[in-house]
Amino acid sequence: MKKITSVCPYCGAGCKLKLVVDNNKIIRAEAADGVTNQNQLCLKGYYGWDFLNDTQLLTPRLKQPMIRYQKGGAFTPVSWQEAIRYTASKLREIKEKHGPRAIMTTGSSRGTGNETNYVMQKFARAVLNTNNVDCCARVCHGPPSPGYSRRWATGR
């Protein structure tokens, strides 16, 4: 068995962890001493990695854009230019038919969350003319919030 130091992918906190790997399969996750987590992990950090061993959930990595031109049809590999053109035309079509409020963007707290979310919301508001902007943080951080408010008297 070997231990591989990594960063938890679930939220933007960047908790440090060690994945215990045996025969190329993750056996468990252990907390590591990181600045944000100080040798502790939340439930997602400890137990949220099991999907990585599930070959039915994982697919080969996409290496180029793909478009499904017809509902139920196969994906067709396309260039980046074609993918952007197609996406822009579909967004324009939705906007013209249903108005800008029919479009929503959603971001993530993973990786470069703040910077990416900033650009995403600017695009939504300035280009798409919609204020329908969301982020997965409320789903990820929502469940522990009542506990936080009782423990640290926040949100009152």
Can you give the residue range of the structural domain that contains 140?
Answer: 100-156
- Are residues 136 and 106 part of one domain? yes
Whether residue 27 is found in the same domain as residue 49: yes
My answer on whether 45 and 64 are in the same domain is no
Percent of the chain with pLDDT over 90: 52
Which is more confident, 102 or 14? 102
| pLDDT at res. 36 | 84
Same domain, 105 and 120: yes
Task: Give the CATH number, domain containing residue 35.
Answer: 2.20.25.90
Strand order across the 16-22 sheet: 2-7, 16-22, 25-31
At residue 97, φ and ψ (nearest 5 deg) are -80, -40
My answer on whether 109 and 147 are in the same domain is yes
Number of domains in the chain: 3
Q: Check: CB of residue 121 under 8 Å from CB of residue 133.
A: yes
pLDDT for res 113: 63
Do 32 and 64 have their domain in common?
no
Give the per-residue pLDDT at 49: 81
Round to whole Å and give the CA distance between 36 and 40: 9
Question: Average pLDDT of 142-155?
Answer: 59
Higher pLDDT, 64 or 142: 64
The letter for the amino acid at 150 is: R
Shared-domain flag, residues 92 and 105: no
155 and 107 within one domain? yes
**In a shared domain, residues 146 and 115:** yes
Q: 59-100 pLDDT, tens per residue?
A: 666 789 999 999 999 999 999 999 999 999 999 999 999 999
Same domain, 131 and 110: yes
At residue 125, the pLDDT reads: 96
Angle formed at CA 73 by CA 124 and CA 89, multiple of 5 degrees: 30
For the chain, percent of residues with pLDDT exceeding 70: 80
Whether residues 88 and 105 fall in one domain: no
Q: Tens digits of per-residue pLDDT, 103-120?
A: 999 887 765 667 888 999
Give the pTM.
Answer: 0.61
Same domain, 87 and 108: no
